[in-house]
Structure 1
Amino acid sequence: MPLHVPPAPAPALRSVLTALGSPTAVHEARTPSLRTAQQDAVPDLPLPLHVLDAITPAGLASTRLVGWRFLIRCGDRAVAAAETRLTPDGWTFSHFFEGPYIASTERALRQAESVAQPCQARLLSVPGLYMLTLWLHGNSASDGITGHPDPTDLLVPLAPAPPGIAAHRPHRVAELLPVLTLRVTPAASPPLLGSPA
Structure 2
Amino acid sequence: MPLHVPPAPAPALRSVLTALASPTAVREDRTPSLRTAQGPVTPELPLPVHVLDRITAEGVTATRLAGWRFLIRSGDRAVAAAETRLTPDGWAFSHFFEGPYIASTERALRQAETSTQPYQARLLSVPGLYMLTLWLHGDCASDGTTGHPAATDLLVPLAPAPPGIAAHRPHRVAELLPVLTLRVAPGQQPRVAPGQEPLLGSPA
Identical counterparts, % of pairs: 84
Deviations 1:112-147 (A, max 9, x none): 011121110000000000000000000011110000
Question: Match of 1:13, SS?
Answer: helix
Offset at residue 58 of structure 1 (A): 2.3
Report the counterpart of residue 140 of structure 1 in structure 2.
140
Report the counterpart of residue 108 of structure 1 in structure 2.
108
Aligned 8 A contact 1:80 1:99 in 2: yes
Offset at residue 24 of structure 1 (A): 2.8
Report the counterpart of residue 17 of structure 2 in structure 1.
17
Deviations 1:40-89 (A, max 9, x none): 11000000000001112222211000000000001111000000000010
- Tell me, which stretches of 5 or more residues in structure 2 are unaligned? 188-204
Aligned 8 A contact 2:23 2:30 in 1: no
TM-score, length of structure 1 as denominator length:
0.91
Q: C-alpha distance in 2, partners of 1:87/1:26?
A: 15
Q: C-alpha distance in 2, partners of 1:23/1:128?
A: 33
Q: Please tell me whether Structure 1 or Structure 2 has the larger radius of gyration of its CA atoms.
A: 1
Question: Match of 1:108, SS?
Answer: helix
Report the counterpart of residue 86 of structure 1 in structure 2.
86
Equivalent AA in structure 2 for residue 121 of structure 1: A
Please provide the CA RMSD for this pair.
1.7
Report the counterpart of residue 50 of structure 2 in structure 1.
50
Number of equivalent positions: 188
Equivalent AA in structure 1 for residue 31 of structure 2: T
Q: C-alpha distance in 1, partners of 2:68/2:90?
A: 12
Aligned 8 A contact 2:28 2:96 in 1: no
Q: C-alpha distance in 1, partners of 2:186/2:56?
A: 14
Aligned 8 A contact 1:29 1:97 in 2: no
Q: C-alpha distance in 1, partners of 2:62/2:83?
A: 22
Q: C-alpha distance in 1, partners of 2:26/2:75?
A: 17
- Tell me, which stretches of 5 or more residues in structure 1 are unaligned? 188-197
Report the counterpart of residue 97 of structure 1 in structure 2.
97
Report the counterpart of residue 172 of structure 1 in structure 2.
172
Moved over 6 A (4+): none
Question: Match of 1:35, SS?
Answer: helix
Query: Which range moves more in the overlay, 21-30 or 165-174?
Result: 21-30
Aligned 8 A contact 1:31 1:80 in 2: yes
Counterpart check, 1:151 vs 2:151: yes
Q: C-alpha distance in 2, partners of 1:26/1:163?
A: 37
